[in-house]
Structure 1
Amino acid sequence: MKKALAIFVLFVAVVWLLNTSLFVAPPAGTAKLLAHRGMHQTYPKDNVGRDTCTATIIRTPEHPYLENTIASMQAAFDAGADVVELDVHLTPDRQFAVFHDWTLDCRTEAKGVTEETPMTALKSLDIGYGYTADGGKTFPFRGKGVGQMPTLEEVLAALPDRKFLINFKSRRAEEGAELATRVDAQPQWREAVFGVYGGEEPTRETLKRLQGMRGYDRTSTMACLTRYLGYGWSGLMPDACKNTFVIVPGNYAPLLWGWPDRFAARMKAAGSEIILLGPYGGGDFTTGIDTMQDLEMVPPGFSGYIWTNRIEMIGPALAKRQVADAGTN
């Protein structure tokens, strides 16, 4: 009995030594911000399902920007974003329309599937048509979004030297192949595309065709996290966590072996970048660090990426915190 207890205590001690951050310095650098949809109109996440028209439940607007527009992306960068996330659909006329929704019914005056609508028609729509914060009494953005749905080409031309995380909304491998072809042919696109994610088929097709490109989908994210939880304590790194983006929900981060500094050092050694989300719940991998309370989830010395839906708030708050931290070091 005493021998078994001693072996157990020794095992626990070894696991602790392998995973404590006490003797590990965090990787060099400072935290970076990833602005989901640019600067956009937010809404309460409670009871939001896959088919909920979120434009009809926005909070009272505090700024004039609509998601996935060039103006909203510029505003996000101005607020401190290092990367902006945007959504794409490959249209019948072979353009990548930058728009979140699978259909047009919620945000515009039109109906139909976004990827089935030619870009020439999408350009005529009012993308601010459906927004309301008071149950339909007023529509503060109606008439202001006409012609504001950009193509990916227009975004990259308007915002050179910026970086974008591209979200495939479909499951069409064709989209990934088309994006890979364009990125491969244009050096400025390769510099601009920070990574890809979303639909498994287009994401994996892009990664297959573009050496060195990073990306993830739900399956690869769960494979990385579950396998790391299973045996990451040993220092062994799952292949699913190598040379990729490792998505970490803030409320589960403390469960990861070696969090924060040893975990970060392991991921850096594996060629991966950490993207820290807000509290995970309900299967949503787009919850962000969106409040001052959420920002407390970001550990001191963190040098990965922080996903946020409120860049206008978190950008200045993080900058202020980083100045304060620099003053104490």
Structure 2
Amino acid sequence: MSDWLTPSRPLSIAHRGASAYAQDNTLNAFALAADLGADMWEVDLHLTDDNQIIAFHDCALADGRAICTLSYTEVRAAVGTNEAPLFSDVIALARARDCGIYADIKAPAASVAVSEMLQEAGVERAILGAFDSRAVAALRDAQCLYPLATLIPVGIDPFEVSADADIIHLCWETMERPQDMLDEAFFARCRANDQKVVLWHEEDPIRMADLRQKPVLGICSDRPELVNPLRFQNGLQVVCHRGANKIAPENTLSAAHACFAAGFSHVEIDVHVTSDNQLVVLHDPTLDRTTNGTGPVNDHTLAELQSLSAGQWFSSFYVDEGIPTLDDVLSLAKLYNGQLYIELKSAPAQLVWDRVVAHDTQDRVFFWSFVMQSLHDMRTISNEAHLMMRRQDFETLDETLESLSPSLVEYTLADDWSDFPDLRRRGVPIMIAYSGDDRAMLEKIAKAGPDLVNLDQPFVFADICRRNGGVI
């Protein structure tokens, strides 16, 4: 059996690509999945009337016309710009990005052609599956060289309908606690049948924590980074500046999800106060750059702000992404057991601290602000508050540490790093901030061995660490 079919941890199978962050079954969604560390892409496949195999989920268009009755040209004319790519283009991208293909064959008539296309392209890592047993039977009769999967909906005995399959693919995402069904007796029967297991698309971090411990071949997810979160050597913590702002719109829940799901420790957010004294997460003092609104944030009520799109500027996929409240982000951090770096913009320290305390996240958060008075206010409010100080703002290290008793000190590439040993002797964590994407600079930061890094390119940094053995 091929080594890739006996992985040391579950394969991350991106469900229709990274479909939490891009239109599903598009080249963009598949490319994002690769960026997020997916091992394979689950691709839904249909056959057009002129025998073109395309990546598309539904059997019919929005207007009701069946895919199988339309030419590829007709399909393309009826869908979005990036939708319904040719399977051949998906294969080419998978080869370029070194990702495997999990083919969910919706049209049984395309089964053998799918297998032949993958073989002709030299794709080794592929699984061919379907809900329709006719597709699996056709592939078995054609002596398909790839492992075959039967997709099992809720309410069906998985062993009864998967006798011809190498892989049992459970589609149990609608069950409340499907993981409870995956007991030793279940896996013993799988082993007796020489069958492997692939699990449904899972986006809940609590359920995923259970599932990744199960002896399964792979787990599907709209958030492929969630399947096997990153763990860095020596306790290194990665702060994602405004969230994963290259994957999703900055300072949004989607951007925060991507960071925490991937295993990064912190999300950096910026907090403003509304005209009705509510706290929202947004970087600029005005709405113009990152929303479809205009004018100062402080001039609007929370209700007015929540009617705006905070993602339309980034891509059409995020047109419904709203401006989150501080409470929203605090709740998300707790869900993932994650931490936050909160930059106080116009938000009063007392209001922010009250929300942090209300969520019992005092030890999950540290603060900074360009407005020094805000930090003084925070320290006056509580000696428990974790404050950050920037080394560049003080003449000496002693002055830095004497100012408001910081819990950590931030450095940039322009600062003198020679006092790192002194900070380590004093037990004060070091954070290096870098907003660029130069791999040489990121390599330098990794070699410096800080306690935390604050980055715009956390996934590039993770790749560097992985290549250097710094990711477990």
Task: Please name the residue that 2:262 is paired with.
Answer: 79
Which consecutive unaligned segments of at least 5 residues does structure 1 have? 1-27, 42-62, 132-140, 258-262, 279-286
Tell whether 2:353 aligns with 1:183: no
Tell whether 2:455 aligns with 1:250: no
Task: Please name the residue that 2:443 is paired with.
Answer: 296
Change over 3 Å in CA distance of 1:320–1:213 after alignment to 2: farther
Tell whether 2:283 aligns with 1:127: no
- Measured in 2, the distance between the counterparts of 1:89 and 1:209 equals 19
Task: Please name the residue that 2:373 is paired with.
Answer: 201
- Measured in 1, the distance between the counterparts of 2:414 and 2:310 equals 34
Task: Please name the residue that 2:238 is paired with.
Answer: 33
- Measured in 2, the distance between the counterparts of 1:91 and 1:101 equals 13
Change over 3 Å in CA distance of 1:88–1:145 after alignment to 2: farther
Q: Is the 8 A contact 2:432 2:450 kept in 1?
A: no
Q: Deviations over 1:35-74 (max 9, x none)?
A: 1011114xxxxxxxxxxxxxxxxxxxxx4x1111111111
How many aligned residue pairs are there? 238
The one-letter code of the counterpart of 1:243 is: P
- Measured in 2, the distance between the counterparts of 1:186 and 1:84 equals 16
Task: Give the structure-2-normalised TM-score.
Answer: 0.46
Tell whether 2:317 aligns with 1:154: no
Q: Is the 8 A contact 1:177 1:209 kept in 2?
A: yes
Change over 3 Å in CA distance of 1:186–1:73 after alignment to 2: closer
Which consecutive unaligned segments of at least 5 residues does structure 2 have? 1-232
Task: Please name the residue that 2:432 is paired with.
Answer: 276
Change over 3 Å in CA distance of 1:128–1:300 after alignment to 2: closer
Tell whether 2:465 aligns with 1:318: yes
- Give the CA deviation at 1:147: 4.6
The one-letter code of the counterpart of 1:168 is: L
Question: What secondary structure is seen at the aligned counterpart in 1 of 2:289?
Answer: coil
> Which residue, 218, 222, 230 being the options, matches 2:392?
222
Q: Is the 8 A contact 2:387 2:404 kept in 1?
A: no
The one-letter code of the counterpart of 1:88 is: V
Change over 3 Å in CA distance of 1:168–1:251 after alignment to 2: same
Runs of 4+ residues over 6 Å off in structure 1: none
Change over 3 Å in CA distance of 1:97–1:221 after alignment to 2: same
- Give the CA deviation at 1:303: 4.2
Change over 3 Å in CA distance of 1:221–1:241 after alignment to 2: farther
Question: What secondary structure is seen at the aligned counterpart in 2 of 1:191?
Answer: helix
Question: What secondary structure is seen at the aligned counterpart in 2 of 1:206?
Answer: helix
Q: Which moved more, 1:311-320 or 1:159-168?
A: 311-320
Q: Is the 8 A contact 1:70 1:150 kept in 2?
A: yes
* Higher RCO (CA < 8 A, seq sep 6+): 1
The one-letter code of the counterpart of 1:150 is: P
Q: Is the 8 A contact 2:240 2:454 kept in 1?
A: yes
Q: Is the 8 A contact 2:387 2:405 kept in 1?
A: no
Tell whether 2:383 aligns with 1:211: yes
When Rg is computed on C-alpha atoms for both structures, the one with the higher figure is: 2
Q: Percent identity?
A: 21
Question: What secondary structure is seen at the aligned counterpart in 2 of 1:33?
Answer: strand
- Give the CA deviation at 1:273: 1.8
Question: What secondary structure is seen at the aligned counterpart in 1 of 2:468?
Answer: helix
- Give the CA deviation at 1:91: 1.2
Task: Please name the residue that 1:98 is paired with.
Answer: 281
Task: Please name the residue that 2:203 is paired with.
Answer: none
Q: Deviations over 1:174-208 (max 9, x none)?
A: x1011123334442x21332333332222221122
Task: Give the structure-1-normalised TM-score.
Answer: 0.63
- Measured in 2, the distance between the counterparts of 1:197 and 1:252 equals 19
Q: Is the 8 A contact 2:386 2:407 kept in 1?
A: yes
Question: What secondary structure is seen at the aligned counterpart in 2 of 1:29?
Answer: helix
Structure 1 vs Structure 2 CA RMSD: 2.9
Q: Is the 8 A contact 1:34 1:81 kept in 2?
A: yes
Q: Is the 8 A contact 2:274 2:299 kept in 1?
A: yes
Change over 3 Å in CA distance of 1:299–1:40 after alignment to 2: closer
- Give the CA deviation at 1:115: 2.2
Q: Deviations over 1:230-280 (max 9, x none)?
A: xx7xxx9852495332111124344x34xxxxx24x3244352211123xx
Structure with greater strand percent = 2
Q: Is the 8 A contact 2:408 2:428 kept in 1?
A: yes
- Measured in 2, the distance between the counterparts of 1:238 and 1:190 equals 21
